[in-house]
Structure 1
Amino acid sequence: MKSAKLTERFEQALVYAHRLHINQTRKVGNIPYISHLLSVTALVLEAGGTEDEAISALLHDSVEDQGGEKTREEIRQRFGESVVNIVDGCTESETYPKPPWKERKLRYLAQIETASSSVQLVSLADKLHNGRSLLWECQQLGDEIWKFFPVGKAETLWFYDSLLQIYQKTPYLKLVEEFRQVVNSLHSLFLS
């Protein structure tokens, strides 16, 4: 597996992502949001991702969480069409307020199923990190965790199971296997 050569573009994307999300934290705890973006990027790079895929991992939530169309156009101008296409493929919604949860998730699943391998890689890395975080938070907080989320255990398991069905058709076997382990652990934890 060849490793991506990271250039000044990546450094610029890192600074840009940090600035976009500087006031944002994760849903649980007071963890700076950049931690999620860095984790997703690390997973993409470790899976053999390209520089464009790594930049997209840094920016995958930018359009959705930090400015919609204006941010999309900034990303296009700074980092190019390939990065914008991957970010768009990973964006659930850019409207505020967001559409209802189930509607958003169904649309996202359909979008990911037919997406490019680059979009699927960034999406898988994103959901793997989210799943790892959810598992850890559930182990720490128990059922208190659900006050931070708009849906409960059954809906969450449905979404993760549906994602796994899509991801297992991708070539990212190591990430898929870890995602499967996280999903199985969530099932065990939720159903115990």
Structure 2
Amino acid sequence: MKYTYGYARVSTQSQELNRQLDILEKYSCDIIYTEKITGTKASRPELNKLKENVREGDTVVVESWSRLGRSTRDLIDLVEFFSKKKVSVISAKEKFDTSTPQGKLMLTVFQAFSEFERDIIVERTNEGLKSARARGRVGGRPKKSEKKIQLALKLYDTKQHSLREIKEMSGVSPTTLYKYLEKRKNGE
């Protein structure tokens, strides 16, 4: 059975959802998820429930894109998420429906921009690393001094300190400590 889900969101507790709900009711939504939470929050519980519940062939309706995505990047990611699950997305305000030929075209454009943006970020990162290397700098986190590593290993070997205490005394994180313990074990 295919379902039509609605999603409505306002940013504050004092705002009302009525206008959005009126629009969603015109689409005969079977289930409507609502939340009063700022769009800047990455985790939106009702949106997460919606994402968990949709199945292939379902439709998601929103009053406008601004109610669904917190940014252009987030919106593209959400539309791609639903597209991969073969779920149509309709935005009433923008008159956008990913199940129509025009909507599929726009989805392809969204995906192209998304890929372009990822490629540009990789290109800039590589250019920045190349520039830094030309100045004698290398990327990545700075290496811990050998003295700090040795101190952390000695503290660990005493079996008298917690990992938190070792980190506080030596400045070496548990992850780094375990990496060096593994190296020591393997004779490196």
Q: Is TM > 0.5 for Structure 1 vs Structure 2?
A: no
| Greater relative contact order, per chain length (Cα 8 Å cut-off, separation 6+) | 1
- Please say which structure displays the higher CA radius of gyration: 2
Larger helix share, 1 or 2: 1
Tell me the TM-score normalized by structure 1: 0.29
Larger strand share, 1 or 2: 2
Tell me the TM-score normalized by structure 2: 0.30
